[in-house]
Amino acid sequence: MRLLSIADETNSPPASLPDDPAQGSPGMAGVLGGTEIAIAYKIGYVLNFYREPSFRRIETEFGITRPEIVTLIVLNYREGVTASDICEFSGHLKANISRGILALEKKGLLRREADAADRRRQFLFMTEAGRALYARYIPMLREREKAMLACLTAAERRSFERILDKLAAHVPDWAAAGEL
């Protein structure tokens, strides 16, 4: 698989990739800086190369789906949340998260407790088996993140994390308002 790269902080394509002789251009690398949504496209590009191979590997090796992976990640951070909480936080569709929760429950990886005030509302908790499974796949995700960020200096990483925190905090302000 040939990956695209960005040589500098400009929108010009990297010099290291060969030109596309048919187009007289730098080939697909130009897409990274040449779209009308360059920042969003670059964020998606990086995330896709982190998430897709990682989640495929977890799906294959551990037999859990993406909604199940996301649910366990959220529950590892905070138990006692609802399916709606997970959807609101992750942006995943309620139907997918609900199917994931049912599958995790059947596999003995989570348990549900009804809210005493509203029996329709279910709080979610990881079981010991769920925690054990999470502990088996999270090191692989940490290593992949480390590889993804290896090109950044410590100062760049701190700056990048601050910018990501700011963008993440801003999501509620624009995400729902711009639904297509």
Confidence check: pLDDT of 14 > 90: no
| Contact status, residue 90 vs residue 82, Cβ threshold 8 Å | no
Q: Give the number of C-alpha atoms closer than 13 A to the C-alpha of residue 11, restricted to the C-beta side.
A: 9
Residue 19 lies in a domain: no
Residue 8 lies in a domain: no
What is the pLDDT, as a whole number, of residue 24?
A: 52
| Residue-averaged pLDDT of the chain | 85
Residue 163 lies in a domain: no
Residue 20 lies in a domain: no
Confidence check: pLDDT of 126 > 60: yes
Take residue 106 and report the two structure tokens written for it.
């059947």
Q: How far is CA 118 from CA 60, 67, 115, 123, 156, in A?
A: 37, 25, 5, 11, 47
What is the pLDDT, as a whole number, of residue 177?
A: 62
What is the pTM (predicted TM-score) of this model? 0.77
Structural domain boundaries, residue 93: 37-137
Residue 144 lies in a domain: no
Instruction: Tell me how crowded residue 111 is: count the other CB atoms within 10 A of its CB.
Output: 15
Number of structural domains found in the chain: 1
Average the pLDDT over 117-137 and give the result.
95
Strands 122-126 and 110-114: antiparallel
Confidence check: pLDDT of 164 > 70: yes
Confidence check: pLDDT of 20 > 60: no
Average the pLDDT over 146-166 and give the result.
97
Looking up residue 71, the CATH number of its domain turns out to be 1.10.10.10
Query: pLDDT tens digits, residue range 95-121?
Result: 999 999 999 999 999 999 998 998 889
Per the model's pLDDT, the better-predicted residue between 45 and 11 turns out to be: 45
Average the pLDDT over 120-139 and give the result.
96
DSSP 141: H
Average the pLDDT over 87-97 and give the result.
90
What is the pLDDT, as a whole number, of residue 179?
A: 57
Percent of the chain predicted with pLDDT > 70: 83
Residue 53 lies in a domain: yes
Confidence check: pLDDT of 4 > 80: no
Residue 178 lies in a domain: no
Confidence check: pLDDT of 11 > 90: no
pLDDT confidence tier of residue 33, bands split at 50, 70 and 90: confident
Residue 162 lies in a domain: no
